[in-house]
Amino acid sequence: MTWSEITEQPRVTKLLAASLKNDRLAHAYLFTGPRGTGKKRIALHLAKALFCREYPCDACGRCVNCQRIAAGNHPDVYVIAPDGASIKIDQIRTLQKEMAMRSMESVHKVYVIEHVDKMTVQAANSLLKFLEEPPKGVVAVLLTENSHALLPTILSRCQIIPFSPLPAEVLAARLTDEGIPAGLAHLACQITTHLDEAREMSQSDWFAQLRNEVIQLVQDLKQRGSYALYSIQELFNKNERLKEELPLFLDMLILWLRDVLHVQAGRRAQLTYRDQQDLLERQAYVWTQAELIQGIGLAMDTRNRIERNANPQLALERLVLRLQGGYTFV
């Protein structure tokens, strides 16, 4: 895969490709952004681009060097991850020794530090000294989701490159290309921007079951009156994971109510449950906009209550009653 084929962060790849081509690569980069935005993937592609035998300033993915970097066994590319909960000073000292050695196969050496914000104080101070006087030809790529947790002096010695959250449409397209049903893929990618999490979620039986239960509940709310309460009881009786997954259930419910609003506003291209458009169209006639907006707020409030250890079943029953307008709680 070449720079042009890495589509999720076009601004980042364009910048790095130009820096390589013009021989203006910085000695240290900080890639910062949410999980699943391609930080490590692009860091390793940068390393491949420095060592690739086939493509100048890019990576073919096929040559010996590209394959060794992908496998984690290139002698001039060093990757550090937290040892347990943190990155320790011994790891940074070992890194410094490795980087101080003469490069075995080129003028470059590359080190990548994952979750650099998890360094101990001693490790951070040791890395700072290393960044202040980097050996010739050494390129550092630091990865973090929390750049605010780093020492300002470390930040000042790196070229900071922010990574944007990946658009849900991009993630969903990848999953559907892998054979995951579009309905599950689009829903998972609205819940998380992390591709691996979305893949795992959308491939699980319980996720599909939870989605079906949400669709059934919203039909019961308007069509079957008080039966919706019995539906809640049945849900908890037959689904042992519901208490654990109730925040996710509520996220799915919020997305459904939002979809009904989208239909009412004529924004069908923005639907999450796009495979359920016929049902959403019917529900757009039986919910008022005020009910939908209130319902989203109630579902969010219920989610907060559960996170504060409210009884899951009672919280969901309370939500159902309020959505139906049958009871007013203080």
pLDDT digits (tens, 9 = 90+) for 141-178: 999 999 999 999 999 999 999 999 888 888 899 899 99
At residue 231 the predicted structure's pLDDT band, cuts being 50, 70 and 90, is confident
**Which of 149, 77, 84, 85 is closest to 113 using CA atoms?**
77
pLDDT digits (tens, 9 = 90+) for 260-301: 999 999 999 999 999 999 999 999 999 999 999 999 999 999
For the question of whether the overall pTM of this predicted structure is more than 0.85, the answer is no
What architecture is domain 3-165? 3-Layer(aba) Sandwich (3.40)
**Which of 6, 8, 93 is closest to 46 using CA atoms?**
6
**pLDDT (mean) for 128-138:** 89
Determine the Cα–Cα distance for residues 124 and 95; give it in Å rounded to an integer: 13
Written as six digits, the tokens of 328 are 């007013």
Pseudo-torsion of CA 124, 127, 129, 130, nearest 10°? 180
* 96 within 8 A of 130, measured Cβ to Cβ: yes
Determine the Cα–Cα distance for residues 318 and 108; give it in Å rounded to an integer: 62
Tell me: pLDDT of 7 over 90. Answer: no
Run of H or E including 162: strand 159-162
SS3 assignment, position 138: strand
At residue 236 the predicted structure's pLDDT band, cuts being 50, 70 and 90, is confident
**Which of 205, 169, 201, 306 is closest to 250 using CA atoms?**
306
Tell me: pLDDT of 108 over 60. Answer: yes
Write down the pLDDT at residue 330: 34
279: left (phi over 0), alpha (psi -120 to 50) or beta: alpha
Determine the Cα–Cα distance for residues 26 and 186; give it in Å rounded to an integer: 38
Question: What Rg value do the Cα atoms of the chain yield, rounded?
Answer: 25
Summary mean pLDDT of the chain? 89
Domain 204-324: assigned CATH number: 1.20.272.10
Partners of residue 139 on adjacent β-strands = 110
Written as six digits, the tokens of 279 are 């049902």
Write down the pLDDT at residue 312: 83
pLDDT digits (tens, 9 = 90+) for 115-127: 999 999 999 999 9
- Which string of DSSP letters, residue by residue, matches 227-241? HHHHHHHHHHHH-TT
The structural domains of the chain, with segments of one domain joined by +, span 3-165, 204-324
Determine the Cα–Cα distance for residues 8 and 330; give it in Å rounded to an integer: 46
**pLDDT (mean) for 20-38:** 93
Write down the pLDDT at residue 328: 41
